[in-house]
A = this chain, B = another copy of it.
Amino acid sequence: MTDFPYGSALIVGAGSGISASLARQLSALGVKVGLAARNVEKLQLLIEQTGASAFAADVSQPASVAALFEEAAGALGGPDVVIFNAGARLRGPLAELDPADVEKAIATTAFGGFLVAQQAAQRMIPHGRGAILFTGASASVKGYAQSAPFAMGKFALRGLAQSAARELGPMGIHVAHFVIDGAVRSQMRPDLAEKPDGTLSPEAIAQTYIDVLRQHRSAWSLEVEVRPWTENF
- B interface footprint on A56-81 (CB within 8 Å = 1, 0 otherwise): 00000010000000000000000000
What bracket does the count of chain A residues touching chain B fall in?
Answer: 35 or more
Given known pairs A94-B121, A99-B118, A155-B159, the reply for A228 and B233 (CB within 8 Å) is no
A91-147 contacts to B (CB < 8 Å): 93-95, 97, 99-100, 102-103, 106-107, 110-111, 114-115, 117-118, 121-122, 125, 139, 142-147
Is A5 at the interface (CB under 8 A from chain B)? no
The docked-state distance in angstroms from the alpha carbon of A211 to that of B219 is: 13
Which of B106, B147, B204, B230 makes the CB contact (< 8 A) with A170? Answer: B230
A162-183 contacts to B (CB < 8 Å): 162-170, 172, 174
With a cutoff of 8 Å between Cβ atoms, the chain B residues found around residue A162 in the complex are: 142-144, 151
A107 CB, nearest partner CB in chain B, Å: 8
Count the copies: 4
Is A15 at the interface (CB under 8 A from chain B)? no
Is A88 at the interface (CB under 8 A from chain B)? no
With a cutoff of 8 Å between Cβ atoms, the chain B residues found around residue A139 in the complex are: 159
Do most interface residues of chain A lie in helix, strand or loop, or is the interface mixed? helix
Which of B159, B197, B222, B226 makes the CB contact (< 8 A) with A154? Answer: B159
Q: Which residue of B lies closest to A107 (CB)?
A: B103
Asked if B218 and A199 make an inter-chain contact with CB atoms under 8 angstroms apart, the answer reads yes
A231 CB, nearest partner CB in chain B, Å: 7
Q: Which residue of B lies closest to A231 (CB)?
A: B169
A172 CB, nearest partner CB in chain B, Å: 7
- A-B contacts, 10 listed (Cβ < 8 Å): A62-B99, A106-B110, A106-B111, A143-B160, A143-B164, A147-B163, A199-B218, A204-B216, A218-B228, A224-B224
Residues of A within 8 A of B (CB): 62, 93-95, 97, 99-100, 102-103, 106-107, 110-111, 114-115, 117-118, 121-122, 125, 139, 142-149, 151-170, 172, 174, 196-197, 199-201, 203-205, 207-208, 211, 214-233
Closest 3 CB pairs of A and B: A143-B162, A155-B159, A151-B159
